Amino acid sequence: MGWKEAAEPVLTRMPAVRRPEGHVPFKEKLMWTAGILMLYFFLTNITLLGVQTGQGGDLFGQFRAILAGSQGSVLQVGIGPIVTASIVLQLLGGANLLGLDTDDPRDQVLYQGLQKLLVVVMVALTALPMVFAGGFLPAQPSLQLGGLALEQTQVQLLIFAQIFVGGILILYMDEVVSKWGVGSGIGLFIIAGVSQRLVAGLVQPATGGFFFDWYRILTGQVEVGSLVSGAGLQTLLINEGHIIPLLTTLLIFGIVVYAESVRVEIPLSHARVKGARGRFPVKLIYASVLPMILVRAVQANVQFMGQILQSQWAGMPAWLGSYSGGQPDGGFFYYVSPIYSPQDWMWWTANVSQEWWQVMIRIGIDVTFMVVGGAIFAIFWVETTDMGPESTAKQIQNSGMQIPGFRQNVGVIEKVMERYIPQVTVIGGALVGLLAVWANMLGTIGSVSGTGLLLAVSITYKLYEEIAEEQLMEMHPMMRQMFGNE
C-alpha cells in the first residue's frame, strides 16, 4: 500500500469550501470579497485574551506587511503557515517525491487535502514557540474567565487555542475568496495590510506621517540643520522629510505597472473558425510577484529560528548570532537578515554599529538570495500552477487554437512556448528580487517593505484585470463558454 492509499481516508475528509454550481454573478463575487475583507479587518482588531498588554515583540517583525495578520490579534500568524506549507509542497512536488498527477481528479483532491493538513500543522508549529517560548506573547499569571480561575499554563493554552483558530479561519477565508470571490484571499489580505500601512505613513500624526512631518518642518517644529553638512539633507530626504521614500514608492508603482505591460505576444488563430484570431501574452513578470512571498517566507523562517534560539539558548555562540533590541547585530543571523530600511546599511551614520565591510557582506547576501531565490521560486511557481510550456500548449490545443504557420500539434506548440516562457520566467523572477532589495534600501512610505509594496501593486493590477474580465463576461455571456468559465 502506497502513501496515497494510506492517507486518502484522512485527506479526502479535510473540510473544504463547496465550489459554486455554475456561474457566480459578478456582483455576488464582489459581495463575498468585500465580506471576507471586512471579516479580516474585524479579526485583526480582536486582541488575544490572556496576553499581557504592552509586553513581548512581534516575532515576524518587518515581514508583517507580507505575512499579513496583526501582532497580538486572533490573526497573529497571518498567512505565514499557508505560505510555508506551499513552499514545502512545491519542493516536494518539484523533486517528484509526492507522485501526484494534478491532471487526475483523485490526485487533485489528495493534493488539496495534503495542503490543508500541512497548513494545520504549520499553524501549530508557528504558534507553539510564540506562546510557550521566548516571551513573545507573555501570558498573564492568572485569569478570571467567567466562573473559572485559570493559572498561567492554562492561560497559555487558551492563547494558543485562539491563535490556532485564527490560523484555520484565515485558511478558509482564503478558500472562500478563491472559489466565490474575485482574486485570492492571500492577495487580498496582503493588499489590505500594505494599504493600511501606506495610509498611516501618509496621514497618521502619531507615527510620523508624511503630511504631518512636513507640517512640522514648515512651521519650524523640526530643526532641519545645515544642508551643506549633510545633516539637513538626511533630515529632508530620509528622516522627517520622507522625500526618498515617497519617490521610491511612486517609482515602484510605475515600474511594476510598466513591467506588467511589457510582454511577448504569440499570435494564435482558430483551427476551425476562419478569421478568429487571438494572442497569448508572455509577460515580463510571467510568474507574477507572488513567488517573492515564498522567498521572503524562507528568510522569515530563518530569522524566526534565530530569535527562538536566542531566547532559549543562553550560551549561543557569537558566530551564530548576537542580538540587540530583538534584532541581530552580529554573526550568521545578522548576515542573512534582509535589509529593511536605509538605516540598516548607511554605515556612516550613528544608526549602524557594524563596520562597512560587514554591511556590504549583508547587502551582497540579501541581493544574491533575492535574485537567485526569485528566479528559482518563479520556476517552481510556473511549473506547479500549470503555466509552463507543456501545460500552456495543452490549454491552447484544447481551446481549438493554433499558432499560424505551425502544425496543430501539442508538441510543436510546446517547442514554440519553450523559446519564451523559461527565459522570461527567470528574468522576471530575478528582476522582481532586485527591485525588492532596492526598494528596501531606499525605504518606502509607511515603512512598508519593498517586497510588500511590489506585491500590493502587482496584485492590485492583476485584480483590476480580473475585474475588467469579469465585467466583460457579464456583458457577453457567450465569452464564458468560449474561455471555459462556465
d(CA 155, CA 435): 44
Give just the sign of the alpha carbon dihedral 12, 14, 19, 21.
positive
The tens-digit pLDDT sequence of the chain (486 residues) is 577 788 888 888 888 888 888 878 888 999 999 999 999 999 999 999 988 876 666 667 677 777 888 888 999 998 889 888 887 887 777 667 777 776 677 888 888 888 899 999 999 998 988 888 766 788 888 888 877 888 888 999 999 999 999 999 999 999 999 999 988 888 899 888 888 888 888 887 766 678 888 888 788 777 766 665 566 666 676 666 678 888 888 888 888 888 888 888 888 887 666 666 778 888 888 887 778 888 888 888 888 888 888 877 777 888 898 888 778 888 999 999 998 888 888 887 777 888 899 999 999 999 999 999 999 988 888 887 778 888 888 888 887 777 887 777 888 888 888 888 999 999 999 998 998 898 888 888 877 877 888 888 888 888 888 888 777 776 666 555 544 454
Instruction: Say if residues 210 and 250 touch (Cβ distance below 8 Å).
Output: no
Joined together, the cell numbers standing for residue 348 give: 556612516
d(CA 195, CA 341): 18
**What pLDDT, on the 0 to 100 scale, is given for residue 118?**
92
E strands, 63-217, are 142-145, 148-151
Which parts of 280-354 fold into alpha helices (H)? 291-312, 332-335
| Domain ranges (residues) in the chain | 24-182, 217-482
Joined together, the cell numbers standing for residue 16 give: 473544504
Fold match between domain 24-182 and domain 217-482: yes
In our burial notation (b when 16+ CB lie closer than 10 A, e otherwise), range 337-348 reads bbbbbbebbeee
Backbone φ and ψ for 338, nearest 5 degrees, come out as -70, 160
Q: Is 485 helix (H, G, I), strand (E, B) or coil?
A: coil
For 110, 293, 296, 378, 475, the CA distances from 383, given in Å and listed in that order, are 18, 17, 20, 9, 33
d(CA 485, CA 190): 26
Among all chains, which residue has been given the C-alpha cell 510557550?
A: 132
Domain 24-182 indexed as CATH 3.30.470.20: no
Closest CA to 188 of 26, 68, 60: 68
d(CA 393, CA 404): 14
For 109, 112, 125, the CA distances from 118, given in Å and listed in that order, are 14, 10, 10
Joined together, the cell numbers standing for residue 203 give: 496621514
Q: How far is CA 31 from the centre of its chain?
A: 24
282: β partners: 264
Structure pTM?
0.80
Joined together, the cell numbers standing for residue 7 give: 492517507
Ramachandran assignment for 278, one of left (phi > 0), alpha (psi -120 to 50 degrees), beta (any other): beta
Instruction: Say if residues 32 and 25 touch (Cβ distance below 8 Å).
Output: no
d(CA 442, CA 482): 46
Instruction: Say if residues 359 and 347 touch (Cβ distance below 8 Å).
Output: yes
Amino acid at 67: L
d(CA 125, CA 301): 11
Backbone φ and ψ for 154, nearest 5 degrees, come out as -70, -35
**What pLDDT, on the 0 to 100 scale, is given for residue 485?**
53
Q: How far is CA 52 from the centre of its chain?
A: 29
DSSP at 151: E
Among all chains, which residue has been given the C-alpha cell 495610509?
A: 199
Question: What's the topology of domain 217-482?
Answer: Preprotein translocase SecY subunit (1.10.3370)
For 282, 375, 379, 384, 390, the CA distances from 416, given in Å and listed in that order, are 12, 21, 18, 20, 10
Among all chains, which residue has been given the C-alpha cell 516562457?
A: 421
Q: ∠ CA(180), CA(186), CA(188), 5° rounding?
A: 70
